[in-house]
Chains A and B, each alone.
Chain A
Amino acid sequence: MSLVQSQEQIAFRRAQTRRQAKFKLRLRNFILYAILIALSIIYLLPLYWMISTSLKLTGSEMVIPPQWIPDPIVWGNYVDIFVQVPLTLYIRNSTLITLTATIFGVLTASLAGYGFARLQFPGRNLFFTLCIASLMLPEIVTLIPEFILFRRIGWVNTFLPLIVPWSLAGSSFAVFLFRQYCLTIPLELDEAARVDGAGTLRIWWSIIVPLSKAVLATLAILSFIHHWNEFLRPLIYLGRPELRTLAIGLRAFRGEYQLAWNYMMAVALIMLLPILVLFFMAQRQFVQGIVMTGIKG
């Protein structure tokens, strides 16, 4: 009798602890979600403010207390900005610089990375060490001599200072990363191709490049973001209004055109748009790119 009773008690206790554990887990998850949602609101608030301002009627963005939801919602702001300021031109300039520099930059970096990984030549280790060391070199150190050089050869007020240096040696990091990746590709593939009569360039183009599409995509994304957002160099080199990129155009809108805040926020969002599209298209490459830059040492 007493034995049965104690067995019942044990079963009851077990169920109780199980219920407690489940409750504990639920409570934990609930707290986690509460924290995450609170933090999300804080981090999304500035972006929400940008979007909501961009949809407000001119003048109604400057009221106290502020309108949280635009009333009325003016989608026309996004049409107006193309009429009010030379936005199309600036988008075209930005796109031209970004795409050219990205395509050539990724190509030369991958070619150099391949050379460092696969080929024997005098000075290889020296140049590679220099490449790594230059990761530490601040951009601002080379800026002034570069400017003096480009002014002398008449490249100021052209896109060339923004395209040529990067196309050739924009990112030592890209060279380094591509070399590391090449080392993971089996050497047998190269040798087999060589036996079949392929030259060095041919091996690079038809074996290495197709095998490293993911790395190349990551490098291309990093480069795209860099050029699309770049501010200091365009500011120095692109003095003429018709050459402005979106980044320095935005500044000019506030200064020269005295653009209202709702229009400013609309232009800022247009600048953000391609990055967002790229992010949602290639989230994995994005995240990989960051992780790789973070652990590059």
Chain B
Amino acid sequence: MSITKAANLGDQLRAVPSRRSRFRRRQEIEGLLCILPWLIGFLCFKFGPMLASLVIGMMQWDALQPPRWVGLENFQTMLSDPRWYSALYNTAYLSFLSVPLQLTVAFLFALILNEKLRAMPTFRTIFYLPSQTPLVATAFLWNWIYHPDFGLANALMSMLGLPPQGWLFDLDLAKPSLILITLWSGIGVPMIIFLAGLQGVPETLYEAASLDGAGAWARFRHVTIPMVSPVIFFNLIIGIIASFQGFFTIVFLTTGGGPVYATLIYVVYIYFRAFQDFKMGYAAALAWVLFLIIMAMTAIQFFLARRWVYYEGSDRA
């Protein structure tokens, strides 16, 4: 929304008649000079590598032999690569479970924090702090919490009279254990965004709804939810996209993809292929497939959003 608004403003700026064309010429050069450092960086380190990655993805590129063109062979290899399937499955499992869970918890927290109580800033800081802990520190903290013999998790289990668990080392529990980490470290950011969204809902809407006889639930369902649905939508897109390329630090430093590939996620798999097996071509192809998946998911979400996201000022309710 803000992009189109900005574009309109840009048009207005352009519409201002320029009286001196020599001045204009100079401005053009200066404008290009202003963006030049960024442009060089963008072409060398983003746009260029993006295209190069596709080319490398069609080559056999490893440490021993000179690079050789193989066309779509890398992509065909993927289809018969069991590790690729498990990486896809694990990434999807983690993303589709942990992101909605995180958002639900974050939204509930934001709802509570939106109540008017004196100590709210303190509570907000407390829930927000874990998300600001560096991921490397978070990973080692949870390695220690999940320690099978002396960890906090099993200490709490025994306090509750439950048997100790293997957590990250347990084939079935490894993924849920990772999700638990993201519920601790991942909710701070969406929570703050939700809170800003909730505080942006005009008080008059609630008052009007009350006058019409709406109870607390009806106000929540028919005022709060539609008003913050754009925020929910963006958190969902950003969350799922980020999680498909995310988790690297946490997974790499806790399970390292194990046990028995149970937590081998896509980015960790790319890392292993590229920087341990030095299969640069195959790894680049893997990365491009991930890119395509992310683009497809974004497109689908934008399509779905038209059905349930309410934008203020548009006719669609």
Please list the residues of chain A having a beta carbon within 8 angstroms of any beta carbon in chain B.
Answer: 29, 32-33, 35-36, 39-40, 43-47, 49-50, 53, 61-66, 108-109, 111-112, 114-122, 124-125, 127, 130-132, 134, 136-149, 164-165, 167-170, 172, 175, 179-180, 183, 187, 199-201, 204, 225, 228-229, 231-232, 236, 246-248, 250-251, 254, 261, 264-265, 268-269, 271-272, 275-276, 279, 283, 286-287, 290-291, 294-295, 297
Residues on B with beta carbons closer than 8 Å to the beta carbon of A271: 134, 136-137
| 8 A-B pairs whose Cβ atoms sit less than 8 Å apart in the complex | A49-B141, A49-B144, A112-B39, A200-B27, A229-B136, A261-B144, A287-B192, A291-B192
Q: Are B294 and A229 in contact (CB under 8 A)?
A: no
Q: How far is the CB of A36 from chain B (nearest CB, A)?
A: 5
CA separation between A108 and B35, bound complex, in Å? Answer: 8
Q: Are B134 and A180 in contact (CB under 8 A)?
A: no
Q: Are B44 and A168 in contact (CB under 8 A)?
A: yes
Selecting from B73-81, B92-100, B124-132, B167-175, the interface stretch reads B124-132
Query: A50-B141, A121-B27, A271-B134 are contacts. A134–B47 as well, Cβ < 8 Å?
Result: yes
The 10 A-B residue pairs whose C-beta atoms are closest, nearest first, are: A168-B41, A169-B41, A115-B34, A119-B31, A121-B31, A294-B193, A112-B38, A268-B137, A142-B49, A145-B52
Q: How far is the CB of B239 from chain A (nearest CB, A)?
A: 10
CA separation between A269 and B237, bound complex, in Å? Answer: 32
Q: Are A39 and B127 in contact (CB under 8 A)?
A: yes
Q: Are A141 and B290 in contact (CB under 8 A)?
A: yes
Q: Is the C-beta of B133 less than 8 angstroms from some C-beta in chain A?
A: yes
Q: Are B50 and A141 in contact (CB under 8 A)?
A: yes
Q: Are A137 and B140 in contact (CB under 8 A)?
A: no
Residues on A with beta carbons closer than 8 Å to the beta carbon of B144: 49-50, 53, 261, 264-265
Q: How far is the CB of B9 from chain A (nearest CB, A)?
A: 5
Residues on B with beta carbons closer than 8 Å to the beta carbon of A40: 123, 126-127
CA separation between A148 and B244, bound complex, in Å? Answer: 24
Q: Are A144 and B31 in contact (CB under 8 A)?
A: no
Query: A36-B123, A119-B27, A231-B248 are contacts. A49–B152 as well, Cβ < 8 Å?
Result: yes
Q: Are A229 and B134 in contact (CB under 8 A)?
A: yes
Residue in B28, B126, B252, B290 whose beta carbon sits within 8 Å of that of A44 in the complex: B126
Q: Are B284 and A145 in contact (CB under 8 A)?
A: yes
Q: Are A119 and B123 in contact (CB under 8 A)?
A: no
Selecting from B82-90, B109-117, B206-214, B217-225, the interface stretch reads B109-117
Q: How far is the CB of A16 from chain B (nearest CB, A)?
A: 23
Residues on A with beta carbons closer than 8 Å to the beta carbon of B142: 46
CA separation between A290 and B235, bound complex, in Å? Answer: 11
Residues on A with beta carbons closer than 8 Å to the beta carbon of B56: 144-145, 148
Q: Are B37 and A168 in contact (CB under 8 A)?
A: yes
Residues on B with beta carbons closer than 8 Å to the beta carbon of A45: 152
Residue in A63, A117, A146, A201 whose beta carbon sits within 8 Å of that of B45 in the complex: A146
Q: Is the C-beta of B30 less than 8 angstroms from some C-beta in chain A?
A: yes
CA separation between A130 and B144, bound complex, in Å? Answer: 44
CA separation between A116 and B9, bound complex, in Å? Answer: 12
Q: How far is the CB of A203 from chain B (nearest CB, A)?
A: 10
Query: A251-B136, A264-B144, A276-B132 are contacts. A232–B123 as well, Cβ < 8 Å?
Result: no
Other A-B contacts than A43-B129, A250-B137, 12 sampled, CB-CB below 8 A, are: A43-B184, A44-B126, A49-B145, A108-B38, A134-B47, A145-B52, A148-B61, A169-B42, A204-B34, A268-B140, A269-B137, A294-B238
Q: Are B117 and A33 in contact (CB under 8 A)?
A: yes
Q: Are A295 and B234 in contact (CB under 8 A)?
A: yes
Residues on B with beta carbons closer than 8 Å to the beta carbon of A261: 144, 147, 150
Q: Are A231 and B52 in contact (CB under 8 A)?
A: no
Residues on A with beta carbons closer than 8 Å to the beta carbon of B237: 297
Q: Are A272 and B47 in contact (CB under 8 A)?
A: no
Q: Are B109 and A39 in contact (CB under 8 A)?
A: yes
Q: Is the C-beta of B149 less than 8 angstroms from some C-beta in chain A?
A: yes
Q: How far is the CB of A158 from chain B (nearest CB, A)?
A: 16
CA separation between A121 and B43, bound complex, in Å? Answer: 18
Q: Are B41 and A165 in contact (CB under 8 A)?
A: yes
Residues on B with beta carbons closer than 8 Å to the beta carbon of A50: 137, 141, 144
Q: Is the C-beta of B104 less than 8 angstroms from some C-beta in chain A?
A: no
Q: How far is the CB of A247 from chain B (nearest CB, A)?
A: 5
Q: Is the C-beta of B249 less than 8 angstroms from some C-beta in chain A?
A: yes
Query: A46-B130, A136-B294 are contacts. A35–B112 as well, Cβ < 8 Å?
Result: yes
Query: A62-B149, A134-B46 are contacts. A144–B41 as well, Cβ < 8 Å?
Result: no
User: Residue on A with the closest CB to B132?
Assistant: A275
Q: Are A120 and B27 in contact (CB under 8 A)?
A: yes
Q: Are B196 and A254 in contact (CB under 8 A)?
A: no
User: Residue on B with the closest CB to A40?
Assistant: B126
Residues on B with beta carbons closer than 8 Å to the beta carbon of A180: 2, 6
Residue in B28, B119, B245 whose beta carbon sits within 8 Å of that of A140 in the complex: B245
User: Residue on B with the closest CB to A253?
Assistant: B140
Q: How far is the CB of A276 from chain B (nearest CB, A)?
A: 7
Q: Are A297 and B126 in contact (CB under 8 A)?
A: no
Q: Are B134 and A144 in contact (CB under 8 A)?
A: no
